[in-house]
Amino acid sequence: PQVLDYFEQKCKTSKALAERAKEVIPGGVQHNLAFNYPFAIAAAKVDGAYMWDEDGNRYIDFLQAGGPTILGSNYQPVRQKVHEIVESCGPVTGLLHEYEIKLAEIIRKYMPGIEMFRMLGSGTEAVMGAIRLARAHTGKKWVIKVGGDYHGWSDQMVYGMRVPGTGRREAHGIPKGSTAYTQEVFPNELGSLRRKLMLNKIRGGTAAVIVEPLGPESGTRPVTPEYNREVRKLCDEFGALLIFDEVVTGFRVGMGGGQGYFNVKPDITVFGKAITGGYPMAGGIGGRKEIMMTLAGGIGGKGGKRAFVGGTLSANPLSCVAGYYAIEEMARTGAPVLAGRAGDRLTAGLKEIMNRLGLPYVVYNMGSIVHLQTSAVLLMSMRNPIKLMREADARKHLMEEMGAAYLSRGILTLAGSRIYTSMADTDDVIDDALNRFEDVFK
């Protein structure tokens, strides 16, 4: 009741907007993981570590837009460059622009596996393009993904997707044919991957294995450090390309992304989010020249093959300038390291509070990505799926309630269970957050 009172009394404008939104926007929010319980909160302003809602309440912003803003929200030096380019070029020209080259060059400088780079409109598009590229380049058709990994919302990748934390099927409207060559394996389970690769060998071959380097859902189910190395070896053994989906990890877990962190070179890397510092049209594919030239078709593709990708607004000057300066600033300031330290401090503090209060909660982090589990662990009773579903729904509701409780004490999280820290999270911000979390837990 205390939490619900907060929303009734302090978030009147948000409540009115949330009601209006429900009339014209399915579900009332556009982002799948947007805060929506007891109703959506409307943002009026973001800056650095903070978000202010339409009623003027201030929150420590651990959502950070879902991950792209490693420098902190609305970072002034990048915003300045975006203003300048909009003055000279507007948002789009449809022509080559120097900043496209500068962005590709700076990505190549920091990411070990990148020789060439092609910009696209979103992480989803980049995954679609990477898979098409792998198929065109290898002439093989099967694609293996890890169960629970999120690679955007294309037919072939949301196949089998479940509502986070519930196990209930979420993605309908996908005909069997469009997922006919997608396979799933369990994370950390190399035996099943090998078996699938062997089976595929005699029926057309595996074009690619795609993984999130930290494990499904940015490490919600973490993989062991050896896992990526072993997957790399298996791909080499079977002639499949290894695709790293670095939409979240790219620049967040270090300037070299997950590939630098684990010292594993993928053949193709998929980017999104931080690639434009959070500005629109954030997606791209990078990789070895020999593979990437397949995007250019007859000019250089193996056997004259071309993997076709497109996008009217992709690689527009605004996105490229924002991406170039965001990456340059991240390198200059050491933002991934600073954001990671904030994540470490927050995690250590939360652990201490949980232990002191005797709470059976779980918290762990990979640098600036913090996973916070405060709801019952799912009993994976496959023999009794109805029971499983009931427990799962209860768990999802608990996550929402915890998210609302955090918000009522001035902390914005992603779905009550994930936190992205940024360079703006100084020790003072983290210590303030810890006091607020303790208040909620109590």
Distance CA(295)–CA(268), nearest Å, equals: 12
> 20: which 2 tokens?
């209006």
| Residues within window 99-118 making contact with ligand PLP, judged by CB under 6 A | none
Q: Which is nearer to ligand PLP, 107 or 248 (CB)?
A: 248
HEC-encoded secondary structure of 211-251 = ECCCCHHHHCCCCCHHHHHHHHHHHHHHCCEEEEECCCCCC
List the catalytic residue out of 61, 149, 245, 267: 245
Measured in degrees and rounded to the nearest 5, phi and psi for residue 276 equal -120, 20
By the rule CB under 6 A, 158 interacts with ligand PLP: no
Among the residue ranges 149-157, 222-230, 290-298, 312-320, the one whose residues contact ligand PLP (CB under 6 A): 149-157
Q: Which is nearer to ligand PLP, 152 or 403 (CB)?
A: 152
> 331: which 2 tokens?
């390198």
Q: Which is nearer to ligand PLP, 247 or 405 (CB)?
A: 247
Least Å distance, CB 5 to ligand PLP, is 33
Distance CA(413)–CA(378), nearest Å, equals: 21
Distance CA(268)–CA(261), nearest Å, equals: 16
List the catalytic residue out of 150, 279, 325, 406: 150
Q: Which is nearer to ligand PLP, 38 or 311 (CB)?
A: 311
By the rule CB under 6 A, 69 interacts with ligand PLP: no
Active site residue 181: no
Active site residue 150: yes
Q: Which of 14, 124, 316, 347 binds ligand PLP (CB under 6 A)?
A: 124
> 232: which 2 tokens?
């790399």
Least Å distance, CB 12 to ligand PLP, is 31
By the rule CB under 6 A, 279 interacts with ligand PLP: no
By the rule CB under 6 A, 277 interacts with ligand PLP: no
Distance CA(245)–CA(252), nearest Å, equals: 13
For residue 75, give the amino acid letter. Answer: Y
**Cβ–Cβ under 8 Å, residues 277 and 422:** no
List the catalytic residue out of 15, 81, 140, 273: 273
User: Mind giving me the DSSP string for 277-320?
Assistant: TT-SS-EEEEE-HHHHGGGGGGGTSGGG-------SSTT-HHHH
Residues marked active site are found at 150, 245, 273
The residues of the shown chain that bind ligand PLP, judged by CB under 6 A, are 66, 122-124, 127, 150-152, 212, 245, 247-248, 272, 282-283
